[in-house]
């Protein structure tokens, strides 16, 4: 059976303007960092993509090195795009990135013009696209002049390989400089993708959200659930089958102290009072700030995605709730 998207797909999703641009993004975006590589089941991630679009999610976020193996997420996404979404390409915002290690030798990572242009050419081939909607520099390069990296992003837009450009993992000072250079070049920075959650708040404390808002740049936080800490997974301690227990991934048992587990349980109590799961409240907590355009989530199966989208049913917090949350996080 060929895929036909839900006819009411735009009726229940919230869309927010991205900075001062002409683009609106779905308040929930789907990231393909995990769950779309060759080690994953195509039938499962095909259904996840269908579920996302049926729910009004228009933004799909990739990077050159997503998999595993690196590049496989773009290949797999491109295959499903061709088979199921070809007629709906103009309803989608597709993004990819370059910055982390992708191939051997001195031109396979960081921020040179050589690397960025080559990487996007490879990404377009893997996905079977003529252009992406957003191309990001994935991380700052300490050795390449920022002017060269931003000139590469400007060139890519002028070549027609991307409609918009963004940056990721830039701290406030670096971000302000990058935004200024792009503005002078005539290719404004559309969006910034930082790591942000209840447990990682440097975008607030260091003033990144203020920098983005002042410059009319959108914000799309990644890892909003702190690699699963802000879900019900750890309410009873560390599960034996979790990636933490197995020593796989970025989280280790050192990250999950008794104090952290206590925070998780207290936050969950507030979520229950709000009629939400902890994950839903954690997503809503980020979206309560209108400087945030959209929040980037991952999903290993369609049901997980649908559960996350329910956060949009309540993204308002009372002052009392916010005070209680601050006391817990403090």
**Do the beta carbons of residue 84 and residue 54 sit within 8 Å?**
no
- Is 257 among the domain residues? no
The CATH number for 129's domain is 3.20.20.100
- Is 6 among the domain residues? no
- Is 49 among the domain residues? yes
- Is 330 among the domain residues? no
- Is 300 among the domain residues? yes
**Do the beta carbons of residue 173 and residue 180 sit within 8 Å?**
no
Whether the model pTM is above 0.75: yes
- Give the pLDDT score at 300: 94
The region that residue 196 occupies, defined by phi over 0 for left and psi between -120 and 50 for alpha, beta otherwise, is beta
- Is 270 among the domain residues? no
Nearest to 26 by CA among 59, 74, 70, 68: 59
pLDDT band at residue 246 using 50, 70 and 90 as cut-offs: low
- Give the pLDDT score at 255: 75
Helix pair 113-127, 72-80: axis angle to 10 deg:
40
Asked whether residue 249 carries a pLDDT value surpassing 70, the answer given is no
**Do the beta carbons of residue 16 and residue 7 sit within 8 Å?**
no
- Give whole-number Cα distances, 158 to 132, 200, 202, in Å: 13, 36, 33
Can you tell me the mean pLDDT for 141-151?
98
Beta bridge partners of 31: 61
Beta strands in the chain (DSSP E): 15-17, 24-26, 28-31, 59-61, 93-98, 132-137, 162-168, 189-193, 218-219, 295-297
Quote the domain boundaries for residue 175.
Answer: 15-227+280-315
As a whole number of angstroms, the distance between CA 8 and CA 2 comes to 18
Q: What tens digit of pLDDT does each residue of 158-179 get?
A: 999 999 999 999 999 999 999 9
Q: What tens digit of pLDDT does each residue of 49-74 get?
A: 999 999 999 999 999 999 999 999 99
Please count the structural domains in the chain.
1
- Is 243 among the domain residues? no
- Give the pLDDT score at 127: 98
Asked whether residue 116 carries a pLDDT value surpassing 90, the answer given is yes
Q: What tens digit of pLDDT does each residue of 8-52 get?
A: 999 999 999 999 999 999 999 999 999 999 999 999 999 999 999
Asked whether residue 149 carries a pLDDT value surpassing 80, the answer given is yes
Q: Which residues contact 257 (CB under 8 A, 6 or more apart)?
A: none
- Is 268 among the domain residues? no
Q: What tens digit of pLDDT does each residue of 273-314 get?
A: 999 999 999 999 999 999 999 999 999 999 999 999 999 999
Q: What tens digit of pLDDT does each residue of 185-213 get?
A: 999 999 999 999 999 999 999 999 999 99
- Give the pLDDT score at 290: 96
């Amino acid at each position: 059976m060929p895929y036909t998207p839900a006819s009411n797909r735009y009726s229940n999703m919230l869309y927010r303007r991205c900075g001062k641009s002409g683009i609106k993004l779905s308040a929930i975006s789907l990231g393909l960092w995990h769950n779309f590589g060759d080690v994953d089941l195509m039938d499962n991630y095909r259904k996840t993509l269908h579920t996302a679009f049926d729910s009004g999610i228009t933004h799909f976020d990739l990077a050159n090195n997503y998999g595993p193996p690196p590049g496989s997420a773009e290949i797999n996404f491109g295959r499903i795009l061709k088979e199921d979404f070809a007629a709906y390409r103009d309803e989608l915002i597709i993004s990819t990135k370059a910055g982390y290690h992708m191939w051997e030798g001195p031109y396979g990572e960081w921020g040179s013009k050589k690397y960025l242009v080559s990487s996007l050419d490879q990404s377009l081939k893997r996905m079977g696209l003529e252009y992406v909607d957003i191309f990001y520099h994935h991380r700052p390069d300490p050795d390449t002049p920022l002017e060269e990296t931003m000139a590469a992003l400007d060139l890519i837009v002028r070549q027609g390989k991307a409609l918009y450009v963004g940056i990721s993992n830039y701290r406030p000072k670096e971000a302000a400089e990058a935004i200024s250079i792009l503005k002078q070049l005539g290719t404004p920075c559309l969006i910034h993708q930082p790591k942000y959650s209840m447990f990682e708040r440097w975008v607030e404390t260091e003033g990144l959200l203020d920098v983005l808002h002042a410059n009319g740049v959108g914000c799309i936080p990644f890892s909003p659930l702190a690699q699963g800490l802000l879900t019900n997974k750890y309410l009873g301690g560390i599960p034996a089958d979790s990636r933490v227990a197995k020593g796989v991934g970025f989280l280790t048992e050192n990250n999950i102290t008794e104090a952290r587990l206590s925070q998780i349980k207290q936050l969950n109590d507030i979520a229950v009072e709000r009629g939400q799961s902890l994950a839903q409240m954690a997503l809503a907590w980020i979206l309560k700030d209108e400087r945030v355009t959209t929040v980037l989530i991952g999903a290993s199966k369609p049901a997980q995605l649908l559960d996350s989208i329910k956060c949009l049913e309540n993204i308002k917090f009372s002052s009392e709730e916010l005070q209680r949350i601050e006391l817990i996080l403090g």
